[in-house]
């Protein structure tokens, strides 16, 4: 089996069910009330939203560093998802 064929097969629902299609819709952004353990350095807001993957939507919340300027908003964070919620 060639490498591309094998990779596509491993990404299929038969194995890891990896999908490139995921969306995140922000539903609320509010100032971070207190420092949060494990948050990214400079986290200043709590972000809530709906994360959709594999046809299922679950709400997630995480502390993030939000920078607002006259022309744009930027958000920075890293977080882990419990992949078992999207099976």
Beta bridge partners of 66: 75
Of 84 and 66, the one with more pLDDT: 66
DSSP conformation letters of 3-52: HHHHHHHHHSTTTT---S-EEEEEEEEEE-SS--TTPPTT--EEEEEEEE
- The pair of structure tokens assigned to 74 is 């930027």
Indicate yes or no: pTM above 0.85: no
Domain ranges of the chain: 20-81
Residue entry with tokens 């420092």: 35
Beta bridge partners of 23: 52
- For 23-72, write each residue's pLDDT tens digit: 999 999 999 989 888 899 999 999 999 999 888 999 999 999 999 999 99
Query: Is the Cβ–Cβ distance between 75 and 66 less than 8 Å?
Result: yes
d(CA 25, CA 63): 16
């Amino acid at each position: 089996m060639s490498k591309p064929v094998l990779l596509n097969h491993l990404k299929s629902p038969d194995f890891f069910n990896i999908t490139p299609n995921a969306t995140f819709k922000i539903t609320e952004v509010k100032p971070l009330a207190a420092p949060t353990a494990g948050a990214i350095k400079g986290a200043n807001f709590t972000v809530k939203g709906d994360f959709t993957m594999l046809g299922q939507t679950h709400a997630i919340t995480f502390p993030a560093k939000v920078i607002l300027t006259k022309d744009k908003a930027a958000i920075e964070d890293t977080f882990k998802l419990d992949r078992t919620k999207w099976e």
